[in-house]
Amino acid sequence: MLADDRPSLIKLDNGDNIVAIILEQTEQYITVSYPLELVRQEISPTMETVAIRPWASFTDDQEIEIRQQKIVSISNLKQEYVEGYLKMLFQATQEELEVPFDEGQDARDLDDWLDDAEERINSLIDKDDIKIH
């Protein structure tokens, strides 16, 4: 496993860039949880933006195995993007987690909601040391 169980940036040989938490690595496979795909979109010839979407959107599986042969590189996600990834993860799994958040609530309620969602995410991926705020 990579340092700190942080989200990893995984580049595949087909050009896909995904962000996920690596749960296990063997000689033949890595097992990741909740992979999100980074998709570059050109706005103009000199500008682009990056969209994030579920990588395997047609499955309910929470853990996905990727063959090592298909991986070009693995690196830790920059720390400045970790919180954003985890927030996207919460949004993507909000229905599954059954932790709805009303945007009209104040900041204290948001902290409580994040704590509750963090506990539920950690229980799903079996990690106790991931902090999102």
The kind and range of the H/E element at 67 are: strand 63-67
In tens, the pLDDT along 91-104 reads 766 655 454 545 55
Query: Who contacts 35 (Cβ-Cβ below 8 Å, separation ≥6)?
Result: 10, 18, 19, 20, 54, 55, 56, 64
Q: What letter does residue 59 receive in the DSSP assignment?
A: -
Q: What letter does residue 108 receive in the DSSP assignment?
A: H
Q: What is the mean pLDDT of the chain?
A: 76
Res. 133 pLDDT band, cuts 50 70 90? very low
Has residue 69 got a pLDDT over 90? yes
Q: Is the pTM of this model over 0.75?
A: no
Has residue 70 got a pLDDT over 50? yes
Task: Give 114 or 44, the one with higher predicted confidence.
Answer: 44
Asked whether 10 and 74 are in contact (CB, 8 A), the reply is yes
Has residue 45 got a pLDDT over 60? yes
In tens, the pLDDT along 101-125 reads 455 555 556 566 667 766 766 665 5
- pLDDT given for residue 31 in this prediction: 93
Report the C-alpha gap between 14 and 63 in whole angstroms: 20
Report the C-alpha gap between 122 and 108 in whole angstroms: 21
pLDDT above 90 coverage of the chain, percent: 26
Res. 8 pLDDT band, cuts 50 70 90? very high
